[in-house]
Structure 1
Amino acid sequence: MQNNKEDLLSIESKQAVSSYFGAMTFDHKAMRARLPKEVFQSLQETIKAGREITEEIAGVVAHGMKEWAMDNGATHYTHWFQPMTGSTAEKHDAFLSIDRDGTAIERFSGEQLIQGEPDASSFPSGGMRTTFEARGYTAWDPSSPAFLMKGGSGLTLCIPTVFISYNGEALDAKTPLLRSMNAVSKSAVRLLEVLGVTGVKRVKTFAGIEQEYFLVDKKYSAERPDLVMCGRTLLGALPPKGQQLEDHYFGAIPDRVLEFMQEVEHELYLLGIPAKTRHNEVAPHQFEIAPVFEEANISVDHNLLVMEVMRKVADKKGFALLMMEKPFAGINGSGKHNNWSIGTDTGINLLDPGDTPEENIQFLVFLVSVLKGVYKRADVLRMSIASIGNDHRLGANEAPPAVVTAFLGELLERVLDAIESGKIDLKTEKQVLNLGLSQVPVVNKDYTDRNRTSPFAFTGNKFEFRAVGSSQAASVPNMVLNTLMAEALDDMADAMLAKISAGKDRDTAILETLREEITATKNIRYQGDNYSDALQKAAEERGLPNLKNTPQALRTLESKDVQAMFIKYGVLSHEEIDSRLNIRLERYVKGVDIEARTLQLMLKTLVIPDVSEYQGDISSSYNNLASAAAEIGLADKALKSQAKHLKTLAENLSLLIDLTEELDGVAEKLETLDGEFAKADYCADVLLPFMVKVREVADRLELMVDRSRWQLPTYSEMLFEH
């Protein structure tokens, strides 16, 4: 079996992807080969039903998993989990054990598979426990397959787990996601039964998470303290060319970047991650990778692995991978478009309109349920994607605004309007586009065009939540989507059952409820340009929340009604809600504080010294010129022009020095404020705007200083040199 290690570490690129896809995962194929038939079947049935794994089965699985991992060269295992830091965590333990007689042997028990105990003292808990209360537990999530991760010169067996405290509170992002998936399944099955659909035991939510990112040559990023410390540029003048010509989008992928993408995809395929699409994005040096749909929890796990693999490969290839939502001012930022859908265990996509959506009552009920949930909980959805980086991106010309609306497209709008008005005889049919060219086939036309400005758009058989930030784990937005959907489905079922109890037949009850909710949710439907001022006006008229920054959005978690929703569906307890609010506020404040300190460092040690040195050279040159003016016959006008240039340079430098000194005081005041919301509001309303004010002066000076004297790599170099 030793050859397997070499095969996994160096597979020929000429092989078909299907021949090695998932080779580094303990998937169905590996389980079937390593586990007794009855154990394999029992494990699959248990996973499918969402039941707890018995210790007896776990022991057999652990042995098979260990043998598979060791045969492929692994010496250690880790419980891989998602603490509330926005990333992943792991503690490696060796399979090696020493018997009493000193004999070395590899062991891995069912108990070790099911449960681990990492030190939880340094992970954020948001006040659920004190620092000295260090015990925390990881528990195996068998629904997400274990995998082998390359690192150093070997492989480590990674076991996806949840992370809980000594008292059972969720200390991670995955536990609430799994709870929300159970909640929406229960509510959806109930509503289907009201609709007369039987035989469905479980309803699943699915996600396809597109990942946007920037690549910058590592030699440049290493010389930018802001990129190293903050992930985004705090200074930088725009180059003459940005994305005005729109020539980068879907353009030919540069060879060096393509080589990076190919290696990333190869590593992802080994991990069983179905990367499907790669392309240039709108901004220079911006790219995207998109996967195939998977169950939401697995999709979230895989997206975290995508980010980790890209970081490793980028470093190997001499790139810095930038995941921050707005790494460069003035050009497009990066999102993580979260394509979300819901389907039954019998294989039915509940958001598939079929050929005649006006006759598909099941589709219409679930479509309107989504609208109901998004309308009622738009503020919660906005909260789910609030962050420092996203605050810089949301509302810019490439991203959805802070206002959450839903887009359905012309045909579905007509269908809902017809039902609302009682004109249920509307007929639709599949449309095609005939280009009149004999060599070009007829093209099927979708029911809806794409609205790239909408934060929540229906795209054929799913919704695309476009406002998710590129750097964040997708666990929270998917957890929120599932929970608000569970609530909306229950509300729909309750309304239908109430009408049936009042004596109405089921079809009438369903249609009346549908018509009422179409009317009730009309305000969330917006078909126009979400980047326009018209949307801002419409939001005010319709009463839609417009939460422009993270502190405003996070206040949603203080709402008793919002807390009641999470508690009712068993997704988050009161203590877990408070902890998440505290953690996110703290991370926001600390993140802005780090940015302010980094800006101070750059101004004092790089920008001001560079400009001062250049000013000295210009002053000497001017003085020498003035002394020789009469002798060389230089006109006063020419001398005055150079004096004016020197004056402008000196005035801007003086202003920058004054603003830098003022920034010191503005940043220090943050430490004197009491309460995390007071600090967060100060960051959003005072500190960040002042940093922008300082930046404007520094960026003006960059365009006046000799490039050889400006130490910071420029936007032109970072964005246009491959």
Structure 2
Amino acid sequence: MVNVPKLFGSLTFNERVMKDRLPAKTFRTFRKMVEEGLPLTRELADMMAYAMKDWALENGCTHFTHWFQPMTGITAEKHDSFIAPAADGRVIMDFSGKDLIQSEPDASSFPSGGLRATFEARGYTAWDPTSYAFIKDDCLYIPTAFCSYTGDVLDKKTPLLRSIAVLSEAARRLLAILGIHTEKVITNVGPEQEYFLVDKAMWEKRKDLVFAGRTLFGAKPPKGQEMEDHYFGAIKPRVKAFMAELDEELWKLGIPAKTEHNEVAPAQHELAPVYTSVNLACDYNQLTMEFMKRIALKHGMVCLLHEKPFDGVNGSGKHNNWSLSTLEGKNLLDPGSDAYHNNQFLLFLAAIIKGIDEYQDVLRGTVASAGNDHRLGANEAPPAIVSIFLGTELTGVLEAIASGQEYKTNGHIQMKLSGNTLAAVSKDNTDRNRTSPFAFTGNKFEFRMAGSQASLACPNAYLNTIVAEELEWVADKLEGTAPEELDAAVKKLVKEIYLAHKRIVFNGNGYTDAWVEEAAKRGLYNNKSTPEALACMTSKKNVDLVVKHGIFTKTEVLSRCEIQYELYNKTLNIEALTMLDMLHKDLLPAAKKYLKDLSETALSEKALGLKPDVAFLKKLQEATAAMYKDGETLAKELVKAEAIEDQKKASAVYHNKVLAAMEALRRSGDGVEVLLGKEYLPYPTYGDLLFGINS
């Protein structure tokens, strides 16, 4: 039996450890520095480093590393040992405040979008004291920010940290106008992580899964998710063993893994943690994805984090549950029992509605990727059209304010399910809408557009900044209002905002053609592809937003878009090359061998005086010829795309031509697959992969 309270955070240099190992005055000084964003003195850094080193050595560490999050979307690390030469030829274990605060990994080979030339290699990492250091693989990991020699931001953490500070200041200013005072407003996030598990032996036989992370060929199996029997079903022992080990490893790092269950698609699962501050949540999520992959391998499985590894069933997202609270723990998005008279809630809600409407194109751009393009718009993934779901109760409140009427709440409704046998169920004031990209779910917003393998730092940095911008606008409008006039001023402002931006509110089914038409009439964006979405990121309005608040410079915005275009192009290039490789080395040889054997059988039957039925043989031959032709078309389109140096222009060609050719080859390839005899199949089928973990 695992002692969870004792295990939890045991490999984390958290506040409990700091209190034990630091003088009380030093700990209080450090806490004050972190909470108020004050600069770290060298003396304090040395004391922190000494305590951190002793704790790490006692836990078996020999090395330390500055752990950072470059624009690759994954984490990076360079390990240094604690040893330092002594005068007599021995070594001592040393770790100074300078080692803790700053390090120097090369920056030349990380994506920079043109900010750095290859020969300009110097880069710096700087300790982020708001995220706990931790131990992994006998190494002390120090969370850090990452920048170039010129000070340009090259990571995902730094913009997030800046946005956290900007939002806190804007929220505190508005709260002060309402007579609510707090030292800090905290952004909280709880990311629900979806993923697939497949048998490792089968994965190894699929080049597309190995190289691209998703299946590029694969005919629909006789059964998919249509029976809905996997969702919340009994967890198979092999998967349960994986989940149990994953929980333990995450708990050691202080990651509050909470909920786990089977998802809708066969072989799909979900892990959800308890809410925590957004910076920690993003760090924890990066570690969660890493441990999912490594622990799956120990159990003979592979964890797939691609947004759409299998066609025709649910893709995987990362639902970003976002809320705000004061340092004292008050949830600023809790409407309470009477939202109509809750001025603080109404103003924050109105500011968010205004921000999502004005910057809907930016939010879509923050989650743009080749993988997510396949996922958005079906199978419980929201469409590419950004809208807000508020539910009947809150929409009713805002409509009442807009019409100048009083709103009478029903309060919390109790539902009786079975006479007196079952306890009454308390009904929430909003339902859940699985087709909504940005849904209010009681006391938080669930941003459902993020892809399963993406870092959450970028969408949260932009979301924080958008809301900060609107809170400042609201504060400007209300500043100087007399206390006795505040209620009327709040209702008037909320009415103004809602009437101007209610087009973004939609409580219906986001999958229907009718909504697509309605959204177009409302003037909402429908950027279905990554090239379309990225083009909006560099508009003047959207660049001005982040430059104004000091999140990015204009150059950094442009460089990040350049990186995303290049990533999109490289992803499709790898996928196209993999498809051609599978075509020529797997599918075509398998089809030709089957054709040969069928032909020989027909000739044998004819020699025996029988009349062979060659209809199936002709059908296979025609399907094989069509597949080969589609492969030749893809190869030609790929050559054209590869010749374009401008990444933005190339992305349009990859999307319009290469991706279209890939989809055509997929259809013809799957058509051949269903005709092949079992012994001729060149790789495990969808049925094998989705239902291959039986124990």
Answer whether TM exceeds 0.5 for this pair: yes
Alignment of 1:458-537 (within 5 A): 458-497=440-479, 500=481, 505-537=485-517
Q: In 2, distance between residues paired with 1:168 and 1:424? A: 54
Among candidates 587, 595, 605, match of residue 607 of structure 1: 587
Once the two structures are superposed, the pairs formed by residues 224-243 of structure 1 within 5 Å of their partners are 224-243=206-225
Q: Which range is displaced more, 668-677 or 213-222?
A: 668-677
Is contact 1:76–1:94 with CA below 8 Å preserved after alignment? yes
Question: Is it true that 1:398 corresponds to 2:383 in the alignment?
Answer: no
Q: Deviations over 1:664-693 (max 9, x none)?
A: 111111122241111101111111111010
Residue correspondence of structure 1 range 15-34 to structure 2 within 5 A: 15-34=2-21
Cα distance in 2, alignment partners of residues 506 and 349 from structure 1: 21
Aligned to 1:35: 22
Structure 1 residue 299 corresponds to structure 2 residue 281: yes
One-letter identity of the residue aligned with 2:548: K
Amino acid across the alignment from 1:120 = A
Alpha-carbon shift at residue 505 of structure 1 (Å): 3.2
1:75 counterpart residue number: 62
CA contact under 8 A between 1:358 and 1:428: conserved in structure 2? no
1:93-141 per-residue CA deviation (whole Å, 9 max, x = no partner) reads 0001112432210000000000010111111111111111111000000
Match of 1:105 in 2: 92
Contact 2:188 2:277 survives alignment (8 Å): yes
How far did residue 397 of structure 1 move? 2.7
Q: CA deviation at 1:425?
A: 4.5
The answer on 1:618 being equivalent to 2:591 is no
Mapped to 2, the partners of 1:265 and 1:437 lie a distance apart of 39
- Output the CA distance in 1 between the equivalents of 2:204 and 2:502: 50
Tell me if structure 1 keeps the 8 A contact 2:197–2:268: yes
Give how far 1:495 is off. Answer: 2.3
Report the Cα distance in structure 1 between the residues aligned to 2:553 and 2:270, rounded to whole angstroms.
Answer: 36
Corresponding position: 1:364 with 2:346: yes
The whole-number CA distance in structure 2 between the counterparts of 1:602 and 1:112 is: 48
Residue aligning to 1:215: 197
Q: Which amino acid aligns with 1:707?
A: K
Q: Which secondary structure state, in structure 2, belongs to the residue aligned with residue 451 of structure 1? A: coil
Alpha carbons 1:356, 1:428 under 8 Å: kept = no
Distance (Å, rounded) in 1 between the aligned partners of 2:488 and 2:40: 44
Matched, 1:56 2:56: no
Amino acid at match of 2:299: K
Out of 420, 431, 435, the position equivalent to 1:449 is 431
Shift of 1:571: 0.6
Residue aligning to 2:111: 124
Match of 1:440 in 2: 422
- Structure 1 pair 425–395 and aligned structure 2 pair: CA distance change class (3 A): closer
Q: For residues 380 and 629 of structure 1, what CA distance do their matches in structure 2 show? A: 71
Select which of 150, 154, 158 maps to 2:141.
158
Amino acid at match of 1:604: H
Mapped partners of 1:446, 1:463: distance in 2? 14
Pairing partner for 1:591 from 562, 571, 576 = 571
Please list, as runs of the form range in 1=range in 2, the aligned pairs for 1:82-93 lying within 5 A after superposition: 82-93=69-80
Local SS of the residue matching 1:129? coil
Contact 1:400-1:466 at 8 Å conserved across structures: yes
Structure 1 residue 259: Cα displacement: 0.2
Q: Retained in 2: the 8 A contact 1:388–1:550? A: yes
Per-residue CA deviation, residues 149-187 of structure 1 (Å, 9 max, x unaligned), is 13xxxx111000000111111110000000001111111
Residue identity matched to 2:206? R
Change (3 A) 1:504 1:546: farther
Q: Which of 684, 689, 694 is matched with 1:718 structurally? A: 689
How far residue 504 of structure 1 moved from its aligned partner, in angstroms, is 9.6
In structure 2, what is the Cα distance between the partners aligned to 1:187 and 1:32? Answer: 32
Aligned to 1:277, what secondary structure does the other structure show?
Answer: strand
- Which amino acid is 2:665 matched to? V
1:196 aligns with 2:176: no
> After superposition, what is the alpha-carbon deviation per residue over 1:544-567, rounded to whole angstroms, capped at 9, x for unaligned?
010010000001122011101000
What SS does the aligned partner of 1:337 have? strand
Residue identity in the other structure for 2:412: K
Query: Is 1:142 aligned to residue 129 of structure 2?
Result: yes
Work out whether residues 418 and 426 of structure 1, in 8 Å CA contact, stay in contact via their aligned partners in 2. Answer: no
Q: Give the superposition deviation at 1:334.
A: 0.2
2:375 equivalent to 1:375: no
Instruction: Structure 1: state its 5+ residue gaps.
Output: 1-13
Q: CA deviation at 1:50?
A: 2.0
Normalising by structure 2, we get a TM-score of 0.98
The aligned residue for residue 413 of structure 2 is 431
Could you state the TM-score of these two structures normalised by the residue count of structure 1?
A: 0.95
Per-residue CA deviation, residues 395-449 of structure 1 (Å, 9 max, x unaligned), is 1232100000000111111111111111124333121111243221111111111
The answer to whether residue 505 in structure 2 is matched with residue 546 in structure 1 is no
- Corresponding residue SS for 2:318: coil
Quote the Cα distance in structure 1 between the aligned partners of 2:567 and 2:139: 30
* Partners of 1:194 and 1:658 in 2: CA distance: 68
Kept in 2: contact 1:397–1:531 (CA 8 A): no
Unaligned ranges ≥5, structure 2: none
CA deviation vs aligned residue, 1:55-92 (integer Å, no higher than 9, x gap)? 11110000000000000100000000100000000000
State the identity as a percent: 47
Paired residue for 2:633?
662
In the alignment, the residues of structure 2 paired with residue 684 and residue 582 of structure 1 have an alpha-carbon distance, to the nearest angstrom, of: 16
The amino acid of 2:154's aligned partner reads L
- Name the residue aligned to 2:607: 627
Compute the RMSD of aligned alpha carbons.
Answer: 1.3
Following the alignment from structure 2 to structure 1, what is the Cα–Cα distance between the partners of residues 606 and 408?
A: 84
Deviations 1:464-510 (A, max 9, x none): 00111001011011111101101111111122238x49x99333322
Question: How far apart, CA to CA, are the structure 2 residues paired with 1:462 and 1:507?
Answer: 24
SS at match of 2:588: helix
In the alignment, the residues of structure 1 paired with residue 209 and residue 645 of structure 2 have an alpha-carbon distance, to the nearest angstrom, of 30
Answer with 674-683 or 577-586: which moved more. Answer: 674-683
